[in-house]
Structure 1
Amino acid sequence: MSKRGIFEQWVEFVGSATQKRTFHAVGFDHEIDDSLTALADMFNQIQNSQIWEELISFIISEFIKSLEFRINLQHLKESLSLTGFSENSLSLIYREIEMNSEKDEKRTLNKKNVSSNNLEKLAERSKSKVFIVHGHEEGLKQSVARYLEKHGIKPVIISEQPSGSNTIIEQIEEYGDVDFAVVLMTGDDEGRKKGDRKFNSRARQNVILELGYFLGRLGRKHVAVIYENDVEKPSDFSGILYIPYDLHGAWKVKLVKELKSSGFRLDMNLGL
């Protein structure tokens, strides 16, 4: 406000807040509603319509100036024409709109000498880590891990990472910053519904827990389940890709397709 020469209005704003025994919190570490409340109360202290118009114009123009890339602001120009603002106030905003139209679509990319045409390829290349959730079946875990490595993907397996005296949950949180999760459901446990006599093969409870964790963290489109045919699948987990494990390697084709649809750059013929 000091830039606009309206220090008196600021003093009135502070005095009003003091009189009402209220306070205003503004900043990146506060909720946006707090900043909006402070801005509204500040505007209420401005009785001069010209000063109010200048301040609004200044805020809009500074916001446009802060944009790092070009966006379509035509709708803003149309709305401003209905405000009744003076030509001087509008020209301040229109000048920033014109300067914004000359910026690149993704100016942030040019800082790294990356063209917008390569944005999609860059995003795909950056995907390189897959978390493997597993039970006691060592063979399947190693098959999936080594297959991912053939495609240049780093498999993240908790048992192969330093624990640092952390609990399993803390380790998952630490090493769970991945692009995709493959959950291996093998028949390590047995269970049955109360009243039933037959026991069914089930994955270990930690596997089901970690499946839910990564569904929440990554979203179901970035999680795939590879399961042994006789293993009971959990209920209420609709929309998940279930890939049956087979000795002929058909699971590899389905897994690669899922990874490609998630943004990984892979060769379908590699390692089959």
Structure 2
Amino acid sequence: MKLAFRAVAENDVSLKAAAYQYYSSGLERHKAQLHQLVPWQRHQRLDSILNLLLMSMALLEFEMMAPLAADSWVPHAYGALGLLEQVGPEGCQESPFFEIFWQLRFFMSYVALSARKMSFLGSQTWMEIPFLHRGKTEFDRVIDTLLLEDHQMSKGEPLGLETSDLWQISDRDFGHERGAGFKFACLGENADFERIVRILVELRELVSACASDPSPKRQESLSAAILADCKHLMSQPSLPFNVGLQVTSAASLVAQYASDSLQKQEAERLFTD
């Protein structure tokens, strides 16, 4: 992973070649280790599942940094989800499974919006039990709305969380006080935290508008707002990796759902950058 980060940051051809070799080797070893698990004993081997989960997440992040194809990280996300399901929602209450679960929710919110594919993470059990000891932040509730079944979208019902309700979110709202210092990211200013939440909410509203609102005006205003926030965040001197992922994912979704051709082109350029 360290080599992969260096290869991408320095745009070094030889480093990239070495990173891909490590990736290929790691992927083959990972497949072999998965086959060694006995399905009916998985719940008794949390240490083995944890090692496999960490490897799945490493492969996933490599594919995000240096994708071999569009959304090539998604199969790794589903593989990690399959392992996490073996742990169960109760097992995801404690570290380090909670952190992996929390991160996968974040990643799968993009899949839910881009491909309209839901997972067990959108079930009531998985939305409640892992958070029993830590509670939910406003950010977690926003992710909930992205992971829910899209019956609300088809009926044109309100999403439950409006952008205007989130302007006063504090920096502390994005952490879990009992989570041993676990935090979403540190952007330095509350305004940037609010900007990430705003992007997420407006993305859901954009997808909803495409499904239920024949007028392109709402879609155009939402697309413009999302692109403006993405540009602002991309202009920051140092952007945490997971925040950068959400920004690029947002640009990709605008390119997919925007009704205006110029906005689509702008989103595609932003995604490429």
Q: TM-score, normalised by structure 1?
A: 0.23
Structure with the larger helix share: 2
Larger Rg: 1
TM-score (norm 2): 0.23
**Which protein has the bigger strand share?**
1
